[in-house]
């Protein structure tokens, strides 16, 4: 029999007891308990790999729990598929959007609704919901043409059309500008006002403190605490998530200013779109000087990937003078020639781009450095000096505190954070004059992220030029001496750290012209 | 005039097997699966269709057998690629090799035996009209069926909910799975539809085009059908156009050779391939439209996490 007496004062919509999921050796979720009341915004906090995504996938029916119980409105349920979750009244907005780029917004929405809904009606209903919640949307637009923020609106409208009682949002603000995030919070407040419950997954502590009524904190697949986030500080929440104090990144202002030698000079860099949905680069100019860290902010998909490919030499330029490294025109030369000039590159995608997944760490090190360190690593006739390579690999592992299970494991055997530490360490070990990193700490736990950020600052202070492309604004504000913003293939002039605020950078991310700040301030006041 | 009408009639018979096989493969590829076994499925349809037609004396039962055998043969591919998640290219190639070998063995006793032939349509009055009568109302029934099939597939893909789901799976199987769509289930049905079409194309060859069985009688049509799908940017009406251009140039060059035009035979024999590719490349110059119609998850194995 269901015991209802306990839940009378605070009707629990969802109750989870002892939910467990095992992948091979790893307990991704270990006896998770969680209750969500009607009309509350409940935060699910934890680092990458803490088990948040696995837990919500079980609640949404895309993964099957190994053990444990889910109760919906007091009754035990088995959620075998996303369709069943939707029938119960659970909707989900995915982190990596589950949208189809080649289809229109209306077609995307149609795919998640009941089959008997005529497609013609869907555009109409989508317009109604979009007007009611202040989420502008063009049902006929092709998703591939839309910005990330617009795509998220489609996901949310699609979810709302199913009239869910519980909405799961997985890291919704990680792809938004600060202003877009504010809009999202307004929508969520309204939904709470209508009595809907929200499970809000995030690692951004400030917004959790601002919005959420209760929080459940996960670490290594276990619940380590429930709390009221409004009664906590960001630091105390971070401690619960990480388990220890997080290393503070230290940054002093650089010396010398504009007199320092320019290492990377980009002049009028343009590039045609490589695919149907990729962004062209439109006349980007930027100088990175020795001793400084320049950050490049921007919402995902505004040309950052295309920019990185052009600067690293994965894609060549039409004109050799568009990219200069240490005074040499390199626009027509490839990645190895640019490396030989002292540049080092760390791409966004770790497996398959930054490292070959099935090769060992030392082989991966050799692959990226056999040209630049040919004297050390290669003997006559190109024979590999494996001892020297192994020693270099060991040096990197020690310098960056890479945790691994074997002496020289395959790259794919390392966790994301540890592999990223190795890849960054592999390039730092060369003491490059120019370091260009795309998304240095994406998917990396807080401890490793702090270590990577400190290493980048230290490299700059030792006299190198560092360019960091990131979608994480907190990270850029932590390490950069100036922040440039990419929007739709253009780049703003870098804002010196002293002048840069979240608001200014956010407006630039949303496409405002640099001269418009005074207006925005006047409007806000 | 009579000669011209006779030539034009053969254009449709040359185009029809390509059209049917290509339309089937188009549906398979729209679901995100690349089946390079079209040639093998055609030849299996040809041999089984001929045998069934010969034994029963009915070309219709022969065509039915070709469809069933084509679908069953594709099921083998489906099991490997969808359930066991094997490499689609390698599996498709082996299906072709298997089909060519197996059909030779099964059909060894039937080589050179005369089989039943499907007769052309005859509507008194209409078919007797000069010129257009035989062209429009005097083809064999499968020609009309193949055009209806093109129309039906176009309507299914772009006007029905199930067609939308199929295209969505081809665009991103990961997203489709996250929405609770049965990716593997849809793909099985698509693969079997493709197999049935290839089987029918094969049956057409051995029961209508040349009513007899010879080894390797598919003669590379499966590969042409595969190329047609790509060059037609996965759009049914373009496949129809491409198949008829190919058929027309094919028949044209046969007659040109017969008339003794002073051009090397090899150049003439290559002309249909070159002309088809040229025309389809020219009409696919809109890169954006082409990429939009290209199924983004084509050829990638899908393993749902559970």
Taking CB atoms and an 8 Å cutoff, what residues of chain A touch B175?
Answer: 97-100
* Closest Cβ–Cβ partner in A86, A98, A142 for B175: A98
The DSSP element (H or E) to which A468 belongs, if any, is strand A465-469
Give B178-216 as a 3 state SS string: HCCCCHHHHHHHHHHHHHHHHHHHHHHHHHHHCCCECCC
Count of domains for chain B: 1
Hey, is the C-beta of A266 within 8 angstroms of any chain B C-beta?
no
| Selected residue with higher pLDDT from B48 and B290 | B48
Q: Do domains A5-242 and A260-342+434-525 have the same CATH topology?
A: yes
Comparing CA positions, the residue from A228, A222, A229, A200 lying closest to residue A56 is A200
B178, B185, B290, B296, best to mutate vs chain A, most A CBs in 10 Å: B178
Confidence of residue A515 (pLDDT cuts 50, 70, 90): low
Comparing CA positions, the residue from A331, A356, A294, A205 lying closest to residue A493 is A294
Mean pLDDT, chain A, rounded, equals 86
Once rounded to an integer, what is the mean pLDDT over residues A388-398? 93
d(CA A482, CA A476): 9
Q: Are A504 and A524 in contact (CB under 8 A)?
A: no
A472: alpha, beta or left? (left if phi > 0; alpha if psi -120 to 50): beta
Overall pTM surpassing 0.80 (yes/no): no
Please tell me the CATH code under which domain A5-242 is placed: 3.40.50.300
Q: Tell me what pLDDT residue B303 has.
A: 81
CA–CA separation, A44 and A51 (whole Å): 10
* Lowest-confidence region among A413-422, A449-458, B85-94: A413-422
CB A440 within 8 A of CB A349: no
Pair A112, A151: CB distance under 8 Å: no
Q: How many CB atoms lie under 10 A from the CB of residue B23?
A: 27
For residue A1, pLDDT over 60 is answered with no
% chain A with pLDDT above 90: 45
Which A-chain residues 80-119 have CB contacts (< 8 A) with chain B? 81-83, 86, 94, 97-103, 107, 110-112, 115, 119
- Residue A262: what are its φ and ψ, rounded to 5°? -70, 130
Compare all CA atoms of chain A with the CA of B162 and give the residue at the minimum distance.
A115
Q: Is A52 helix (H, G, I), strand (E, B) or coil?
A: helix
Name the pLDDT band for A8 (thresholds 50, 70, 90). Answer: very low
pLDDT, tens only, B162-204: 999 999 999 999 888 888 889 999 999 999 999 999 999 999 9
- Give which of B12, B71, B45, B77 is closest to B217, Cα–Cα: B45
Give the end-to-end CA distance of chain B in Å, rounded to a whole number. Answer: 66
CA dist A274 → A75, A304, A306 (Å): 52, 13, 8
Whether residues A102 and B165 touch (CB distance < 8 A) is answered with no
Residue-wise pLDDT tens digits, B76-89: 999 999 999 999 99
Q: How far apart are CA A241 and CA A234, in angstroms?
A: 11
Distance CA A166, CA A38 (A): 8
**Does the structure show a pLDDT above 60 at A519?**
no
B262 part of a folded domain: yes
* A interface test, pick of B172, B175, B176, B179 with most A CB neighbours within 10 Å: B179
CA distance B49 to B203: 5
Comparing alpha-carbon positions, the chain B residue that sits nearest to A115 is: B161
Q: Is residue B211 part of a domain?
A: yes
- In angstroms, the Cα distances linking A78 to A58, A67, A221, A367 are 10, 11, 21, 49
A-B CB pairs within 8 A amount to 62
* Rounded Cα gap, residues A16 and A218, in angstroms: 14
B301 within a domain of the structure (yes/no): no
Does A278 touch chain B if contact means CB atoms closer than 8 Å?
A: no
Distance, in Å, from the CA atom of B214 to the CA atom of B227, rounded to the nearest integer, reads 24
What residues of chain A lie within 8 A of the CB of B164, using their CB? Answer: 103, 107, 110-111, 119
Q: What is the ipTM of this complex?
A: 0.79
Give the residue-averaged pLDDT of A487-514.
89
Q: Is A34 helix (H, G, I), strand (E, B) or coil?
A: strand
In this complex, the residue of B164, B177, B306 whose CB is nearest that of residue A107 is B164
Surface-to-core class of residue B37, CB atoms within 10 Å of its CB (0-12 exposed, 13-18 middle, 19+ buried): buried
- Under an 8 A CB cutoff, do A102 and B164 touch? no
B172 to A100: CB separation less than 8 angstroms, yes or no: yes
**Rounded Cα–Cα distance for residues A302 and A285 (Å):** 16
Range picked from A66-75, A257-266, B285-294 for highest mean pLDDT: A66-75
The helix (run of H) or strand (run of E) holding residue B41 is helix B38-56
pLDDT of res. B306: 56
Q: Residues 333 to 372 of A: which have CB under 8 A from any B CB?
A: none
Architecture of domain A260-342+434-525 in CATH?
3-Layer(aba) Sandwich (3.40)
> Does a structural domain hold residue B303?
no
Nearest-Cα residue of chain B relative to residue A91: B179
Spell out which chain B residues touch chain A, with contact meaning CB-CB distance below 8 angstroms.
161, 164-165, 167-168, 171-172, 174-181, 287-288, 291-293, 296, 305-306
pLDDT of res. A257 = 67
**CATH code, B42:** 1.10.3470
**Among B39, B11, B24, which residue's Cα sits nearest to residue B209?**
B11
| Domain encompassing residue B44 | 2-293
Q: Which helix (H) or strand (E) holds A13?
A: strand A12-23
Does residue A518 register a pLDDT over 70? no
Of B176, B181, B292, which is closest to A102 when you measure between CB atoms? B292
Is residue B302 in a domain? no
**Distance (Å, rounded) from C-alpha A159 to C-alpha A82?**
12
Tell if the CB–CB gap between B180 and A61 is shorter than 8 Å. yes
Closest-CA distance of chain B to residue A111, Å: 7
Query: Which residues, including other chains, have CB under 8 Å from residue A356's CB and lie 6 or more apart?
Result: A363, A364, A367, A411
């Amino acid at each position: 029999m269901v015991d209802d007496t306990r839940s009378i004062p605070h009707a629990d919509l969802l109750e989870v007891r002892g939910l467990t999921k095992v992948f091979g050796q790893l307990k991704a979720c270990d006896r998770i308990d969680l209750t969500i009341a009607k009309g509350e915004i409940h935060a699910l906090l934890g680092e990458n790999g803490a088990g948040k995504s696995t837990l919500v996938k079980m609640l949404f029916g895309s993964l099957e729990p190994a053990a444990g119980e889910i109760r919906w409105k007091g009754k035990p349920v088995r959620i075998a598929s996303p369709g069943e979750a939707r029938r119960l009244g659970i909707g989900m907005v995915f982190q990596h959007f589950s949208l189809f780029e080649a289809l229109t917004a209306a077609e995307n929405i149609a795919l998640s609704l009941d089959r008997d809904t005529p497609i013609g009606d869907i555009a109409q209903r989508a317009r109604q919901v979009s007007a009611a919640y202040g989420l502008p949307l063009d049902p006929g637009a092709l998703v591939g043409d839309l910005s990330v923020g617009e795509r998220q609106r489609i996901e949310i409208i699609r979810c709302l059309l199913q009239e869910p009682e519980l909405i799961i949002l997985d890291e919704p603000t990680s792809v938004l500008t600060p202003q877009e995030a504010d809009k999202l919070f307004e929508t969520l407040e309204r939904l709470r006002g209508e009595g809907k419950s929200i499970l809000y997954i995030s690692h951004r502590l400030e917004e959790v403190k601002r919005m959420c009524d209760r929080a459940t904190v996960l670490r290594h697949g276990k619940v380590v605490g429930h709390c009221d986030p409004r009664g906590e500080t960001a630091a105390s929440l971070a401690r619960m998530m990480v388990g220890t104090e997080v290393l503070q990144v230290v940054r002093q202002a650089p010396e010398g200013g504009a007199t320092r030698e320019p290492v990377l000079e980009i002049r009028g860099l343009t590039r045609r779109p490589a695919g149907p949905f990729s962004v062209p680069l439109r006349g980007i100019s930027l100088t990175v000087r020795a001793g400084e860290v320049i950050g490049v902010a921007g919402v995902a998909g505004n040309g950052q990937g295309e920019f990185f490919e052009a600067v690293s030499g994965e894609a060549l330029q039409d004109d050799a003078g568009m990219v200069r490294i240490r005074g040499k025109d390199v626009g027509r030369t490839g990645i190895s020639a640019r490396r030989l000039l002292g540049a080092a590159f760390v791409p966004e995608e770790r497996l398959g781009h930054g490292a070959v997944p099935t090769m060992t760490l030392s082989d991966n090190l050799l692959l990226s450095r056999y040209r630049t360190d040919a004297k050390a690593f290669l003997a006559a006739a190109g024979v590999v000096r494996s001892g020297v390579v192994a020693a270099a690999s060991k040096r990197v592992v020690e310098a960056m505190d890479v945790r691994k299970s074997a002496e020289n494991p395959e790259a794919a055997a390392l966790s994301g954070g540890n592999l990223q530490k190795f890849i960054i360490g592999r390039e730092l070990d060369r003491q490059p004059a120019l370091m260009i990193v795309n998304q240095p700490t994406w998917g990396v736990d807080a401890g490793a992220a702090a270590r990577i950020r400190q290493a980048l600052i230290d490299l700059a202070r030792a006299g190198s030029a560092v360019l960091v492309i990131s979608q994480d604004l907190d990270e850029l504000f932590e390490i950069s001496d100036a922040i440039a913003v990419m929007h739709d293939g253009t780049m703003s002039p870098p804002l010196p750290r002293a002048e840069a605020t979240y608001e200014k950078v956010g407006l630039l991310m949303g496409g405002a012209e640099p001269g418009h700040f005074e207006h925005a301030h006047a409007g806000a006041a | 005039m009579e000669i011209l009408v006779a030539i034009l009639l053969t254009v449709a018979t040359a185009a029809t097997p390509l059209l049917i096989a290509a339309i089937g493969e188009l549906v398979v590829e729209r679901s995100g699966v690349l089946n390079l076994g079209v040639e093998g499925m055609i030849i299996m349809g040809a041999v089984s269709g001929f045998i069934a037609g010969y034994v029963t004396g009915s070309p219709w039962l022969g065509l039915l057998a070709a469809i069933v055998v084509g679908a069953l043969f594709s099921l083998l591919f489906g099991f490997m690629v969808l359930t066991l998640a094997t490499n689609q290219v390698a599996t498709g190639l082996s299906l072709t090799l298997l089909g060519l070998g197996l059909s030779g063995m099964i059909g060894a006793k039937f080589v050179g035996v005369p089989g039943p032939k499907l007769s052309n349509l005859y509507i008194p009055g209409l078919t007797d009209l000069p010129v257009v009568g035989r062209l429009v109302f005097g083809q064999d029934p499968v020609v009309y069926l193949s055009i209806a099939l093109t129309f039906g597939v176009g309507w299914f893909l772009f006007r029905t909910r199930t067609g939308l789901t199929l295209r969505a799976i081809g665009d991103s199987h990961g997203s489709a799975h996250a929405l609770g769509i049965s990716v593997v289930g849809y793909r099985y049905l698509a693969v079997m539809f493709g197999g049935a079409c290839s089987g029918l194309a094969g049956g057409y060859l051995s029961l209508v085009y040349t009513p007899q069985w010879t080894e390797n009688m598919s003669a590379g049509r499966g590969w042409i059908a595969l190329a047609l799908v790509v060059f037609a940017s996965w759009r049914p009406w373009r496949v129809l156009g491409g198949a008829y251009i190919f058929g027309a140039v094919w028949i044209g060059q046969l007659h040109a050779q017969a008339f003794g035009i002073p051009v090397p035979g090899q150049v003439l024999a290559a002309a249909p391939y070159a002309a088809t590719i040229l025309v389809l490349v020219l009409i696919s110059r809109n890169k954006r439209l082409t990429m939009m119609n290209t199924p983004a998850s084509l050829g990638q194995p899908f393993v749902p996490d559970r």
